[in-house]
Amino acid sequence: INIIDEVVLSMASHSASSGLGTHGWRTPMDCLRASEVCNQNSQCSSRFRIMRQCLVGRDRTTMLANRECQAALEVLQDSPLYDCRCKRGMKRELQCLQSYWSIHMGLNEELYETSPYEPMHLSDEFRLASIISGNLCSDTGKPCNPCLDAAKACNLNDTCKKQRTALMATCSPATPIQQAQEPCNRKRCHRGLRQFFDRVQTEFSYPLLFCSCRDKACAERRRQTIMPACSFEEKTKSNCLELRRACRSDPLCRSRLADFHMNCQTTPHSITICPNDNYRGCLVSYVGLIGSDVTPNYVDASQTNITISPWCGCRGSGNHEAECEAFLRDFRENTCLRNAIQAFGYGTDAGLVPITESQSAVPSVRTNLQPAIITKHVINSNDVKQIDRACVFSTCANLQVGLKICCRSLHCVILLPSESKAKK
């Protein structure tokens, strides 16, 4: 299809109707390509220029109060820009995301926004990384620190070793005197973190961040992966809504936050509590936030109760305290994220996973969100390893209160509480 045909197709819906329901038949395209198509049409390109001007120095409410901005937005909703998406890590990713938000800033809900990224599928690389992580401590009779083993594996890979050494140099002060004067350059550290996770294969980077721990020494090493003294902690905690506002002023951070909300939202009707039972979608979205204004991390060195949070609180929220608490709860009480981390550490994926029941999380109602898509696959029984000879909670059957499910070679056995005690 040539560019003239694309322009005709993209603007045909506007000639038929100016309503919102005419865009559904179009196949989403790259936002950079969608911008090129729009610029070939005088009506679309003029409205696109107006829309970009509307976004300069204005928040969503102010922008929508302007009639000219409203008119431009209505026209652009019938352009290919409305349905466009971006690829993670693509060339000119920032420019692509800027094109996306030039339309969607005025359309999305206040609390949750639709991700500008294409849906994710379960990859062989991610599956391999999970299996490697689960096999780091295969001998249960010896002391084990999977996070230390992950660091050793990283040092055996040239790219991982090089990037990790550069990260440690960037996020650490050179001398004690410099540490007293200026602990670190946070922006440089955040940039280093983004480069590390962008350039290092997941089979080496993810086991460092999501290793399964049996003691506090291991859990503390896991917590230190992102160099939190520089990248995470501060003397005082910002208000979470202020942190979110700062994040949304940057197209990249805004996109990563929307992606996290979409792929890690608690979904009570799925087996794994994650959208489409896709653990990879949640973990990739979580890693995407590292190195941003909303960088999350483990809050402590607990090996039994995984709690994730950005460095912020809700003091001083005033009338918006409920909204602030909801934002914080999406990290601290996120059952999908917790299950995804534990499943990765155990060396399993969405086909066979450990499940932790939500203790206090309240599922959020989020409309019009299209989460990641999982590609179904056949699980090899060799991929499933016993851990400390204990029963692993599995998705082979629905969990019920008081029941324990043991899986051996993918055959599930439900044990009643009395039988479980007898086994011990």
Q: For residues 86, 251, 275 and 323, what is the CA-based torsion angle, rounded to 10 degrees?
A: -160
Q: Right CATH number for 146-173+183-346 from 3.40.50.800, 2.40.40.20, 1.10.220.110, 3.90.1150.30?
A: 1.10.220.110
CB 286 within 8 A of CB 279: no
Q: What is the DSSP string of 74-136?
A: HHHTTSTTTT-BB-TT-TTHHHHHHHHHHHHTTTS-SS-----BPPP---HHHHHHHHHHHTT
- The residues, ordered by sequence, that sit 6+ positions from 289 with a Cβ below 8 Å of its Cβ are 256, 257, 260, 295, 296
pTM of the model: 0.73
- The domain limits of the chain are 31-101, 146-173+183-346
Say what the pLDDT of residue 144 is.
75
CB 135 within 8 A of CB 125: no
DSSP at 407: E
Q: For residues 130, 136, 138 and 139, what is the CA-based torsion angle, rounded to 10 degrees?
A: -160
Main-chain phi, psi angles of 412, to 5 degrees: -95, 135
CB 320 within 8 A of CB 310: no
Say what the pLDDT of residue 413 is.
33
Say what the pLDDT of residue 178 is.
55
Say what the pLDDT of residue 206 is.
94
CA atoms of 77 and 104, how far apart (whole Å): 9
Say what the pLDDT of residue 414 is.
32
3-state secondary structure of 20: coil
Average pLDDT by consecutive 10-residue portion of the chain (424 residues)? 41 36 57 90 86 71 75 82 89 92 69 86 53 52 81 95 95 63 83 95 94 91 95 93 92 94 87 85 95 96 91 92 94 93 71 39 42 37 35 31 34 37 45
CB 154 within 8 A of CB 208: yes
Say what the pLDDT of residue 313 is.
95
The closest alpha carbon to 297, from 378, 193, 200, belongs to 193
Say what the pLDDT of residue 60 is.
63
- The residues, ordered by sequence, that sit 6+ positions from 376 with a Cβ below 8 Å of its Cβ are none
CA atoms of 401 and 298, how far apart (whole Å): 28
